[in-house]
Amino acid sequence: MEQRNASEKRKSIIASGWLVKSDRIIDQRDAIARWKMHRCKLLDLSSIWSLIALVCMVMGLARGQLIRPVYVYEGLIKGIHDYFNNTCIILLHTNPSPVENQGLIEGERLLHLQKYLSSTFHIRTALMDFNMFRTRIGQNYYNIKRPLFVLLNDYEDTRKEFANQVSTWIAMAYPTWLVFFKNETKLSDFFFEIYVPFDCKFMVAKSSTNETGKENITEVYQVDKGKELRSMHFGTWDVKNGLKGPTRGLYFRRNDLFGHNIFVTSVYDPPISLFKHNRQNEITGMSGFFGEVILLLQEGMNCTFTYKKSKSWGVCLPNGTCTGAVGMLMNGKADFAATEFMMTSDRLDVISFTTPIYTTKCRTYIKRPSSTNVKWNVYTAPFSLSIWNIIIFFIIIMSGSIVLIQKLFMVTSLYRDEDHLPTKFTEILFFVAGAFCNQGMQQSVLDPIRMVHFVIHITAVIILAAYSAALVSFLTVQSFVMPFTTMKGLLKDKTYRFGVVGDSADFTFFQNTSDKVMNVLFTELLMKETDLPNNYLQGLKRVCKEDKYAFMTLDNMAALLQQKVNCKLEPLDTISQITVAMATRTNSPFLGLINTNLLLLRDGGILQRLMETQWSITLNTAQSSWKSVDINDVVPLLLLITAALLVSCFIYAIEHIAYKRLLKRVKLKLKPSRQLIM
């Protein structure tokens, strides 16, 4: 019974898991006492099988898990851990009870390795067999950040258990791998039927044949499942110098896909995403902004693209299925989506995004009202009320000055030559006001009045020039009144329809939002639309074609497509800031390489240059520098002229009637007098 308890205690210590501390390791004196107990048991001739097992352990016939000296494991594992900045280490082996099956010495070597890494360097270290790893950790390995998995040897049973119990279900690219090989073991033999993804960090250590205690490290990977196993030199390790790893990053070392074919899907979204077809109507390539980007990616990664067209960007339905390009990535029908994808949280569950391409704002656009309001104050707006008051006051003062001067000269009897000039204040006021309308004044022989006339005309010229310039700017600057500027105003207006691109993230944005206004917009306006546009160009054309139709799009797309629609688009307030990227299927082995090439394009200024040229290609069209005045701007002047004409005609008619009546009376008075003469 005591032996069984001791055995169970040793098992629990070996499979203890994380953060093995020195106070939990079997005390050396305790181990020696147990060894003596085993030796005493051997003296019992009643257990022949125990004797055979003990002889095997003593003679070293049992195969140990460590195929290198312990110091090699210690130094190399520590070096790999530091190079990749791993947070923990899991030592994997095949024997669930190494002490019982392989002897106390083998067990203490494993425990010593675990203790060295955990106690000396405070690295979380666990010693597990494959079965324990699968049952105790299993799919929860994703909760371990940056783990380092170490295969202690290259035995056939190790290879089989790794191939059957681990590599078939674990995401191989998630952890860092290290396996120790004997010199005679071939890479192709060990990795037979084991898929090592392109982005997997899998190192193989072999002893150097020229120098004792030196390890040559090789990294292995495959471009795709079933493809050739590729290897390259990773570095070396020795006791004196430690690990000498590569100075270049992973995707600078693995920057070649050797012509591997990648299935690319995209959405017809002119002018930034267009398809090229051959005579058989087969898609042979892409053009536009994203077409240029993937051509650069194809050259940088040395791969080939096969294109597939998607009808829409796609959304994920409540039943778990997805449509459009998102569904193609999710179902494995495409590897890469080369079009603009909004980075939303619901899409992160089914696809992976590349590094952001650009950021923009999302807002709603409406058509500028076709009829602007009549500017009734356009002819008084150039001057403020205080300036108009000053002008009126100046006219009154100048008129009064002329009247005063004339009175003074009349008193002094020097005004006899000026009898033909107006002397009434109202008449003089009329002439002074006419001077401010660019009319002349009757010349006077009096020098004081001439000086007043000179001041009046100089002031009138300056004021008239300033007024004319301001009036021209007021007439030529187009101004209008927006019916609303916010989404809340759009909802309150209740005369506008509202649309977004169908089967896209724009639709799910309103469907899943927690904002009350957006929620009401979705239920009351958006859900009533039975035929949503397929892309941004269709939506903006619908804004121009239909009356009172609002459409949500991206700022850069609206600016790009403004020249392709026949109306002026007006934006409402910003709804949200949007990050746009391309997408790949989940856990794509090529995502890191794509991101690396995109970052190189961005850091080199190529991506920015593409955006400037592609986005501005239709915005540089020459526009006339002349600005026509709208008819509504001159309506007040036309009405003033018409009113003046009507008033003049009315006064003329009154004067004509009065003149005829007066003439008739005169004739009646003259008629009796003529009769008397007769």
Tell me which residue of 206, 311, 221 sits closest to 269, measured CA to CA. Answer: 311
The pLDDT assigned to 238 comes to 94
Q: How far apart are CA 549 and CA 555, in angstroms?
A: 18
The pLDDT assigned to 436 comes to 84
Number of structural domains in the chain: 2
Is residue 514 assigned to a domain?
no
The pLDDT assigned to 43 comes to 39
Which of 223, 253, 283 is the last residue before a domain boundary? Answer: 253
Tokens of residue 241, six digits: 């110098």
The pLDDT assigned to 12 comes to 44
Q: What number of other Cβ atoms are within 10 A of residue 580's Cβ?
A: 18
Over the stretch 287-325, which tens digit does the pLDDT of each residue have?
999 999 999 999 999 999 999 999 999 988 888 899 999
Contact 486, 574 (CB under 8 A): no
For residues 97 and 239, membership in a common domain is answered with yes
Is residue 510 assigned to a domain?
no
Which of 237, 253, 269 is the last residue before a domain boundary? Answer: 253
Which of 448, 476, 504 is the last residue before a domain boundary? Answer: 476
Q: What number of other Cβ atoms are within 10 A of residue 55's Cβ?
A: 11
Is residue 470 assigned to a domain?
yes
Is residue 620 assigned to a domain?
no
Report DSSP letters for 578-643, one per residue: EEEEEEEETT-TTHHHHHHHHHHHHHTTHHHHHHHHHHTTTT-----S--PPPGGGGHHHHHHHHH
Phi, psi dihedrals of residue 515, rounded to the nearest 5°: -70, 130
Please state the pTM of the whole predicted model.
0.71
Is residue 180 assigned to a domain?
yes
The pLDDT assigned to 203 comes to 97
Contact 201, 194 (CB under 8 A): no
Domain limits for position 460: 385-476
Is residue 175 assigned to a domain?
yes
Over the stretch 547-565, which tens digit does the pLDDT of each residue have?
899 999 999 899 889 988 9
The pLDDT assigned to 588 comes to 95
The amino acid that residue 72 corresponds to is: V
The pLDDT assigned to 468 comes to 85
The pLDDT assigned to 326 comes to 95
- The rounded Cα 147 to chain-centroid distance in angstroms is 31
Q: Domain holding 113: CATH number? A: 3.40.50.2300
Q: How far apart are CA 381 and CA 208, in angstroms?
A: 92
Over the stretch 157-181, which tens digit does the pLDDT of each residue have?
999 999 998 999 999 999 999 999 9
User: 355: which residues sit within 8 A by CB, 6+ positions away?
Assistant: 581, 595, 598, 599, 602
Burial of 449 (0-12, 13-18, 19+ CB in 10 A): buried
Is residue 398 assigned to a domain?
yes
Tell me which residue of 197, 13, 184 sits closest to 107, measured CA to CA. Answer: 13
Contact 126, 18 (CB under 8 A): yes
Is residue 248 assigned to a domain?
yes
Positions in the chain whose pLDDT score sits under 70: 1-63, 97-104, 370-376, 410-422, 477-480, 616-633, 670-678
Q: How many helices (H) and strands (E) does the chain have?
A: 23, 18
The amino acid that residue 179 corresponds to is: V
The pLDDT assigned to 627 comes to 58
